[in-house]
């Protein structure tokens, strides 16, 4: 008897064959449970579900206040705005930074001003791969007109990386050129670009940062998707001048937004964007059954 | 005498028992020689279709394909079913790529994944076991019309949606397939403007592509252990649900497994992937395939957002295909192993261990009483 029992147990143990265990069938989702990360003070999201034709349906957010979870979107969107700011201040054909990590963040409402964020983050220069830690304060202004966010940021080391030599060579190469340079689809569909186009790609990214900074709010997250084309214009005041057509990707709406920019640059003056022009979204496809 | 036998057998149990949570077997060999050139390039739909046929030809005993729907433009939606033949009904892992046309790295990963499991199952014990116990259902390109459209020329490269035409009042094309599923459809993170990138369609499952996936998942739901849907970009692993006020009943488990996958990814090339619900780490959304899968009871449902974090975005250079696929494979493997081990080891092992423990206790008690 005893050994029979042992034998049965042995079989059970050794048999790793198909279990008929069914995965637990999920019950109906529990609504309104406390699964939201407890890293913010009261201000839980409320639902708005009524949508009229053509409306973007979004949850009516009471914005998160207090300590922010560093890997959740409020801190990351704000940190991306800081990235755009840093590129407008320090970017060049040889310096283009991207957000690496958010270490800490907090947000508060400031009466009559707007929403103020404090952030600790690390950014990395995509060209030299040098990383730097930054502290930043940023305000998303309140009010209907919603002006551009205001940013104050300081970073250690990072922006001291020496790009002078490369920039000077690049500048000299193009400043007196009788061969104005141009290019398109940078990167191309497969992610490629000619090595000579790279600095123009960086420059497009930095110039785009001016628009991305200006257009950003707490419900957006911008990246430059592609330089559709650029053309070198005549040098003026010792500044290289370019006409750029860039495609921006706005993550929350997933839209691709076209902008034309007039951009100048020199090692001394840095990048400036003199004019911006939003290009209309082209709904130019003909539906298949058009007979007229 | 009896006790010695019991103790010996208990030792056998301990060595043989294989609970889940055991570290993954060697899944990615860093010294592995370079992949064939094919898997370091992007491929158009014709090439991918030919490749599917080739995989079937080269591995007829483990690979078959199934057309499970038609796109709006009447093209086949095809999956590959990969697994060792079995007389009994098997559990399944679902993976789909390319629900959004412009996310080219996703179909590239599906191809890589298939190649990798076919390459490794013969000599890797773990993969062999999983191929025996599971079938992998892989759809390399779900949004076929959209994908083909994105290959047309440079100006169509960033197309996202499918290619169904607009309504009477709206001349734009396309519905966002990942907002069209019957999962809190139309509630949040969508647009009702048919020209918008997140247009959710005229109603839930209005799109044939979403209908095809829905039909398959419903048919198979009792058997699917894990559902993976592959996207780019942002380097994220998203868990259900996309609605901020609704949480999955096994949220803790999903996070634990997701974090394990992110760790496996980081171990490959050092890349950080953030894990969380979409409303936490990205944005709220409804009508996603991931949410639908979880809603019908598939316990482990994840969205992978692959490289990068915005520098190249959708236009990821081909020289990043291989490292991206290697890390994503490690992440997927972690989830699949967990799902497999949970189904095939957990309950049997726990019960057996308890019985052994009881037997030993009884044995010792008897022996002790006997001596008294």
CATH number, residue A109: 3.10.450.10
Residue bearing the bigger pLDDT, B145 or B14: B145
Identify whether A287 is part of a domain. Answer: no
Active-site annotation holder among B305, B311, B318, B327:
B305
User: Is B365 an interface residue toward A (CB < 8 Å)?
Assistant: no
- Residue A2's pLDDT is 65
- In this prediction the ipTM stands at 0.86
Q: Please, which pLDDT band fits residue A176 given cuts at 50, 70 and 90?
A: confident
Percent of chain A scoring above 90 in pLDDT? 67
Q: Please, which pLDDT band fits residue A28 given cuts at 50, 70 and 90?
A: very low
Q: What is the pTM of this model?
A: 0.84
Closest CA to B312 of B182, B158, B201, B206: B158
Q: Kindly calculate the radius of gyration of chain A based on its CA atoms and give it in whole angstroms.
A: 26
- Residue B36's pLDDT is 57
Identify whether A288 is part of a domain. Answer: no
User: Is B345 an interface residue toward A (CB < 8 Å)?
Assistant: yes
What's the domain count of chain A?
A: 1
The mean predicted confidence, pLDDT, of chain A is 82
Residue A17's contacts (CB-CB under 8 Å, 6 or more residues apart) are none
Structural domain containing residue A139: 2-278
Neighbours of B256 (CB within 10 A): 13
Q: Coil, strand or helix: which one is B229?
A: strand
Chain A positions touching B222 (Cβ under 8 A) are 22-23, 25
Q: Please, which pLDDT band fits residue A162 given cuts at 50, 70 and 90?
A: confident
Identify whether A283 is part of a domain. Answer: no
Segment (H or E) for B72:
none
Mark which residues 72-101 of B lie under 8 Å from A by CB.
88, 90
Q: Do A21 and B346 touch (CB under 8 A)?
A: yes
Cβ B320 vs Cβ B308: under 8 Å: yes
The mean predicted confidence, pLDDT, of chain B is 90
What integer is the mean pLDDT of B310-331? 98
What integer is the mean pLDDT of A48-69? 59
User: Is B12 an interface residue toward A (CB < 8 Å)?
Assistant: yes
Residue whose token pair is 């773990």: B126
Mutate to test the interface with A, among B149, B155, B280 (most CBs of A within 10 A): B280
pLDDT in tens, A93-107: 999 999 999 999 999
Task: Label residue A106 exposed, middle or buried (CB < 10 Å: 0-12, 13-18, 19+).
Answer: middle
User: Is B189 an interface residue toward A (CB < 8 Å)?
Assistant: yes
Q: Do B188 and A49 touch (CB under 8 A)?
A: yes
- Residue B352's pLDDT is 65
User: Is B42 an interface residue toward A (CB < 8 Å)?
Assistant: yes
Q: Which of A98, A192, A226 sits opposite B317 (nearest CB)?
A: A192
Chain B positions touching A225 (Cβ under 8 A) are 158, 313-315
Identify whether A150 is part of a domain. Answer: yes
- Residue A21's pLDDT is 30
Mark which residues 192-251 of B lie under 8 Å from A by CB.
192-193, 195-198, 222, 224-225, 234, 241, 244-251
Identify whether A284 is part of a domain. Answer: no
Closest CA to A238 of A203, A206, A264: A264
Q: Which residue of chain B comes nearest to A22, CA vs CA? A: B222
Chain A positions touching B355 (Cβ under 8 A) are 9, 12
Identify whether A112 is part of a domain. Answer: yes
Q: Please, which pLDDT band fits residue A253 given cuts at 50, 70 and 90?
A: very high
Identify whether A225 is part of a domain. Answer: yes
Task: Label residue B280 exposed, middle or buried (CB < 10 Å: 0-12, 13-18, 19+).
Answer: buried
Percent of chain B scoring above 70 in pLDDT? 85
Q: Do B343 and A24 touch (CB under 8 A)?
A: no
pLDDT in tens, B6-33: 555 555 555 444 444 344 433 443 333 3
Annotated active-site residue B305? The verdict is: yes
Identify whether A291 is part of a domain. Answer: no
User: Dihedrals φ, ψ of B266, to 5°?
Assistant: -65, -30
Q: Does B242 have pLDDT greater than 70? A: yes
What integer is the mean pLDDT of B138-145? 98
């Amino acid at each position: 008897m005893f050994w029979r029992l042992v034998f049965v147990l042995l079989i059970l143990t050794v048999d790793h064959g198909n279990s008929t265990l069914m995965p637990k069938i999920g019950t109906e989702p529990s609504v309104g449970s406390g699964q939201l990360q407890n890293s913010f003070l009261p201000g839980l999201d409320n639902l708005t579900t009524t949508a009229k034709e053509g409306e973007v349906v979004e949850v009516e957010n009471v914005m998160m206040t207090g300590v922010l979870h560093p890997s959740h979107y409020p801190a990351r969107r704000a940190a991306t705005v800081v990235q755009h700011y840093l590129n407008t201040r320090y970017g060049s054909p040889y310096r283009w930074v991207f957000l690496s990590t958010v270490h800490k963040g907090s947000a508060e409402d400031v009466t009559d001003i707007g929403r103020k964020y404090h952030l600790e983050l690390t950014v990395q220069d995509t060209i030299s791969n040098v990383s730097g830690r930054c502290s930043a304060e940023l305000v998303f202004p309140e009010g209907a007109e919603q002006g551009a966010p205001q940013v104050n940021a300081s970073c250690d080391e990072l922006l001291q990386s020496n790009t002078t030599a490369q920039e000077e060579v690049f500048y000299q190469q193009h400043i007196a050129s009788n061969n104005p340079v141009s290019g398109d689809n940078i990167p191309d569909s497969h992610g490629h670009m000619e090595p000579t186009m790279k600095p123009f790609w960086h420059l497009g990214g930095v110039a785009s940062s001016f628009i991305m900074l200006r257009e950003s709010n707490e419900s957006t997250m911008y990246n430059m998707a592609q330089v559709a084309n650029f053309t070198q214009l005549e040098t003026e005041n010792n500044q290289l001048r370019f006409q750029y057509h860039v495609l921006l990707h706005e993550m929350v709406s997933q839209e691709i937004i076209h902008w034309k920019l007039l951009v100048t640059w020199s090692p001394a003056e840095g990048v400036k964007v003199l004019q911006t022009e939003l290009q209309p979204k082209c709904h130019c496809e003909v539906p298949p059954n058009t007979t007229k | 005498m009896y006790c010695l036998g019991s103790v010996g057998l208990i030792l056998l149990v301990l060595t043989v028992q294989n609970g889940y949570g055991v570290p993954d077997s060697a899944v990615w060999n860093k010294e592995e020689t370079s992949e064939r050139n094919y898997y370091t390039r992007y491929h158009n739909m014709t090439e991918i279709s030919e490749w599917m046929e080739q995989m079937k030809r080269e591995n007829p005993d483990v690979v078959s394909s199934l057309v499970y729907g038609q796109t709006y433009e009447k093209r086949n939606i095809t999956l590959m079913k990969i697994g060792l033949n079995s007389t009994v009904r098997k559990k399944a892992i679902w993976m789909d790529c390319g629900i959004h046309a412009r996310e080219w790295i996703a179909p590239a990963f599906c191809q890589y994944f298939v190649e990798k499991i076919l390459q490794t199952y013969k000599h890797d014990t773990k993969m062999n076991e999983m191929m025996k116990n599971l079938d992998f259902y892989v759809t390399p390109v779900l949004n076929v019309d959209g994908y083909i459209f994105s290959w047309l020329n440079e100006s169509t490269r960033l197309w996202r949606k499918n290619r169904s035409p607009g309504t009477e009042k709206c001349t734009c094309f396309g519905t966002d397939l990942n907002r069209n599923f019957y999962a809190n459809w139309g509630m949040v993170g969508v647009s009702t403007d048919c020209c918008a990138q997140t247009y959710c369609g005229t109603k839930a499952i209005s799109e044939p592509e979403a209908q095809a996936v829905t039909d398959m998942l419903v048919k198979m739901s009792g058997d699917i252990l894990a559902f993976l849907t592959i996207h780019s970009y942002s380097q994220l692993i998203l868990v259900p649900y996309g609605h901020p006020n609704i949480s999955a009943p096994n949220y803790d488990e999903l996070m634990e497994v997701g974090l394990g996958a992110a760790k496996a990814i980081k171990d490959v090339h050092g890349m950080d992937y953030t894990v969380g619900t979409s409303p936490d780490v990205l944005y709220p959304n409804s009508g996603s395939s991931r949410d639908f899968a979880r809603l019908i009871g598939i316990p482990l449902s994840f969205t992978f957002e692959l490289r990068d974090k915005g520098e190249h975005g959708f236009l990821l250079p081909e020289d990043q295909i291989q490292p991206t696929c290697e890390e994503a494979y490690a992440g997927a493997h972690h989830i699949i192993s967990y799902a497999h081990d949970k189904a095939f080891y957990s309950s049997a092992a726990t019960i057996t261990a308890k019985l052994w423990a009881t037997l030993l206790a009884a044995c010792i008690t008897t022996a002790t009483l006997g001596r008294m």
